[in-house]
Amino acid sequence: MGFSTLELCAGAGGQAIGLERAGFACAAAVEIDPHACATLRANRPAWSVLEGDLRSFDTRPYRGVELVAGGVSCPPFSVAGKQLGGDDERDLFVS
């Protein structure tokens, strides 16, 4: 019997694929970027890829998932971005 995971801010699926290799089944992958979602759908067509804003995502259908994992959006803080922090619309940290 395997475990299931709900991937938040899934990106192109690097972490989710690692979890898959560790024996987890992906219940769903949530991502806002359409290009990343297209990559996920192309590489893992059997996965449920949910494209949309995490702030309006309904978690209720995923009760019982053993692991909630994710790479919370880093562009607001990354040196590769504009480093807008809390002023960036992608900032998911509540201050």
Give the pairing type, strands 3-8 and 67-70: parallel
| 74 catalytically annotated | yes
The continuous run of DSSP H or E covering 42 comes out as: helix 34-43
3 Cβ contact list (under 8 Å, min separation 6): 23, 24, 25, 66, 67
Catalytic residue among 9, 26, 37, 74: 74
Catalytic residues, by residue number, are 74
